Amino acid sequence: MSVLVVGLSHKGAPLATLERVALTGDALDKLLHDVARADDVAGALVLSTCNRVEVYAEVEKFHSAVAAIYELLSRHSHVPPAELTSCLYVHYQDRAVQHLLTVACGLDSMVVGESQILGQLRQALRLARDRNTLGRTLSDLGSLALRAGKRAQSETSIGAAGASLISLGLQVAARHFDGNGLGRDDGISPAAPPSALAGKRVLVIGAGAMSALAAASLARVGAAELVVASRTRQRAQRLAASAGGRAADMADVVAELATADLVVTCTGASGHVITADMVDEALRQRTAARSGPQTRSSAAGLVLLDLAMPRDVEPTVATLTGVALTDLQTLAADGHPAFEPSDRQIGEVRKIMAEELAAHTSATRAATVTPTVVALRAKAASVVDAELARLAGRLDGLDAAAMDEVAKSMRRVTDKLLHDPTVRVKELAGAPGADSYEDALRVLFDLDPAAVQAVAQADAQLAGWPQGPTIQADREER
C-alpha cells in the first residue's frame, strides 16, 4: 500500500472556496466513509480545520485513487471540479509522509509553529479509528506525526514564536481598542493576550476547543464581563463557569451583541450565526441604551473576531458603521513579522522531523523482513524435527536422555548458523536496497512465499489490523 494526500489549504485556496470544502459533523463522516469505500483505497483519514482540508489515503493505484478523491471532495462540498482543481495539491509516498510531519509540527500553518493542529490531527485520527477507516499504515504515520509534533513543541521554541490562531486573532482585534495595536512595544509576547482587551465586555459564541482557548485568554487578561453562548446550553454553562463568566442562549445573541465590546465566534455551523440584520438590530439597541438613563461604557463600537470555517459572521457586517470585522481572510492577508519564527527555530524542527522519519523508516523496513526471518526459522525447525524423527527410527536402542541431548545439539547448531544472517538482514533492512537483501534470503534458503505471507497475515491479525480482502469485505458490508 502507498500513502496519498489530496488537499487544499490557506496557502493556495481562496477563503470562499476553503470554507465551502471544510466539512464537519455528518458531512465529514460521509466523506470519510465514501473515500474508504472508493476503489483502490484501503484506508482513509480526513483532516478538516479552519485553514485546511486534507484527505490521506492508503491506495493501491495512484491515478484512480486521486480521481476518486477529487470527485468525492467535489460532490460532498458542492464545489465544481474545475474550481477545486486549481486549489488542490497532491503528495505521494515519501512526500505525503513529509507533508504530514510538516503539518503536525505547525510549519504549514497560517501562524507558523502553532500547536492546535496537534489536537485537530488527534481528533481526525480518533474519528477515522472509530469509523473503522484507519488502516495500519495511516495509524502508524499518525502516531509518527503526533510524536514529531510533540517533540517540536517541547524541544524547540517554535511554539513561542508561533502564536496560536486565537492569540493572533485577539492581537489583531485589539488594534480597534488600541491605536498602536501590534506595533506597540509594551513587553507583551506574541502568544500573550493583548492588554488592550482588559476591561472589555466579551461575547464568545461556541463552546468548542477554540472557544475555550479564547475564553481562557480573555479571562486572564481581565475582561470585565465574559458571556458564552452555544447551541448546547450545558456546554455553554460549563465553559462560562471555567472562565468566570455566564452562559446565554443563542436566542439572546442580539441582546448580548448590543452590550458587547468584542465578539469571538468559532462554531461548526454550516451557515452564518451572526447576520448583518442581527448586528444592525444590536446597534439600534445600543444607541437606544446610550440615550437612556443607564448608559453603558461599551458604546465605543463593536469588534467581531470570526475564526470559524465556514464563516460564522456574514461578510457584509463589515460594511456597517461602528463595526470592525476580523476573519480568517483578514488574518491571512495581514502581515505579522513578530510572529515569524527564525531560520534556526525552523531548522530545529526540521531536524526532529528528519530524526523521526528516519527512525520510522528503519523500523518499518525491519518489520517487513520479520515474516521472512520467522519463515526461515520455521523451515529450519521443521528440517531439524524431520532429521530427529529419522534418527529415532534408525537408532531404536538410544535412550531418551541421549536422544534429548542430540536434539538440543542440533537445535543449537541451527540457531548459531541462522543467527548472523537473520541479525544482519534486519540491520540491512534500514538501508537502501533492503528489498534485495530480503529477496536474497528467500532465494538462498528456498523459502515458500506462501509461508512468508501467512506469517505476515498472522501478525496483522494479532495486532487487530484487517488485511487485503478483509478490508474490502468490511467496506461492502457497511
- What is the spatial distance between Cα 431 and Cα 198, in angstroms, rounded to a whole number? 58
At 286, list the grid cell: 445600543
Kindly state the cell numbers that stand for 363: 523500523
Cβ within 8 Å of residue 460, ≥6 positions away: 136, 466, 467
3-class SS of residue 422: helix
Nine-digit cell at 94?
515519501
105 catalytic? Reply is no
Contacts of 179 (CB under 8 A, 6+ apart): none
The partner residues of 325 in beta bridges, in order of sequence, read: 304
Catalytic residue from among 50, 87, 105, 266: 50
* Torsion (CA) 22, 24, 29, 32 in degrees, nearest 10: 30
> What residues contact residue 127 under an 8 Å CB cut-off, 6+ apart?
28, 29, 32, 46
Measured distance CA(27)–CA(275) in Å, rounded: 23
Whose cell is 476547543? That residue is: 209
Query: Phi and psi for 57 in degrees, rounded to 5?
Result: -145, 145
Task: Report, as residue numbers or ranges, the catalytic residues.
Answer: 50
